[in-house]
Amino acid sequence: MATQRRIDRARFVIEVAQAIVAEIGADRVGIRISPAHNIQDVWEKDDAETRTSYGALIAGLAQLGLAYLRVLQADPAGDLIQDLRRALGGTFIVNSGFSKMTTRDEAITAVDESIADLIAVGRPAIANPDLVTRWEQGAEENEVDHASVYGPDEREYTDYPFLQG
């Protein structure tokens, strides 16, 4: 019964994804999930239940051939996340969350160790308009100004400096 409820709960996301795919094509649709990760106190702590919930979701989405699965998880190399990755197929993107800022080394390790195909970057990308160049060169990064990250205006989103020279 409880398992059936969790499978039913996945239906909303699956049907929304189906509708979007029908409009714009599966190659332009991805999904972001955060299993067993504390997001503003929404935190799945029961491993078996988490597996059932996300297993049902991914099984429903797998038939759609989505472009990517993006996961927020402090330990994306763990069994649950890697099993979900295999179940969905396609490009797999990770981000380890707010507790530690994404670093170049973390990104390189994730790809080199086949933990993910790509890494999603938040704050360093906001603070460095040329982050790709900086990571290619191993150059220093601008520090993010946390006070301006969520607004209130265009400041910092438009005036972080590029590398000189």
Ligand X SMILES: Cc1cc2nc3c(=O)[nH]c(=O)nc-3n(C[C@H](O)[C@H](O)[C@H](O)COP(=O)(O)O)c2cc1C
Per CB under 6 A, residues contacting ligand X are 32, 72, 95, 97-98, 101-102, 120-124, 149-150
In whole angstroms, how close is the CB of 79 to ligand X at the nearest point? 21
In the complex with ligand X, the residue whose CB is nearer, 113 or 150, is 150
Written as six digits, the tokens of 145 are: 């100004």
Query: In Å, how far from its chain's centre is CA 120?
Result: 6
Residue showing the smallest CB distance to ligand X in the complex:
122
In whole angstroms, how close is the CB of 160 to ligand X at the nearest point? 14
In whole angstroms, how close is the CB of 146 to ligand X at the nearest point? 9
In the complex with ligand X, the residue whose CB is nearer, 68 or 98, is 98
In whole angstroms, how close is the CB of 35 to ligand X at the nearest point? 13
Q: Are 71 and 81 a contacting pair, CB within 8 Å? A: yes
In the complex with ligand X, the residue whose CB is nearer, 80 or 94, is 94
The CA distance from 48 to 73, in Å, is 17
Q: Are strands 91-95 and 68-72 parallel, antiparallel or unpaired?
A: parallel
In whole angstroms, how close is the CB of 3 to ligand X at the nearest point? 27
Q: Give the bridge partners for 70, in sequence order.
A: 32, 93
In the complex with ligand X, the residue whose CB is nearer, 14 or 107, is 107
Burial of 7 (0-12, 13-18, 19+ CB in 10 A): middle
In the complex with ligand X, the residue whose CB is nearer, 45 or 100, is 100
Report how many helices (DSSP H) and strands (DSSP E) the chain contains, helices first.
6, 4
